[in-house]
């Protein structure tokens, strides 16, 4: 996983910098040019997630900046497979779903993602 600072939100958001932990101190750093071949292009905004509060404060987000996470491509594929399976089991297609939640686990020595929440468009969450 790589933490990044975006210069905005929505379709026009651009990655401004990477966020690194150096001996317990979170700091901004140059975004690596090789990241686009190793990480998914799906940005997950995390500046509202309590687990990232210390990071958000340390990098001092300004103006329209947002804190986001990029997942390695292989992890993204695991996540997408779990999402598609959860939708299929509920008789839904992906565009009928607003959000998913879950947790990564190890299953048989391989990474898996267990869905714990499916939020349908305009409906209450389905567990």
With tokens 């998914």, the residue in question is 40
Residue 11: what pLDDT?
63
Residue 95: what pLDDT?
83
Residue 122: what pLDDT?
65
pTM: 0.73
Within the chain, which residues score under 70 in pLDDT?
A: 9-13, 122-127
């Amino acid at each position: 996983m790589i933490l990044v600072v975006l210069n905005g939100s929505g379709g026009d958001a651009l990655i401004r910098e990477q966020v690194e932990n150096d001996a317990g101190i979170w700091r901004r750093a140059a975004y690596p040019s090789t990241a686009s071949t190793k990480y998914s292009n799906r940005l997950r905004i995390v500046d509202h997630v309590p687990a990232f509060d210390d990071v958000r404060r340390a990098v001092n987000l300004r103006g329209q900046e947002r804190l986001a996470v990029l997942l390695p491509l292989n992890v993204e594929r695991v996540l997408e497979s779990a999402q598609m399976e959860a939708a299929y089991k509920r008789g839904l297609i992906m565009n009928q779903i607003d959000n998913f939640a879950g947790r990564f686990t190890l299953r048989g020595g391989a990474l898996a993602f267990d869905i714990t929440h499916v939020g349908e468009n305009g409906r209450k969450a389905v567990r």
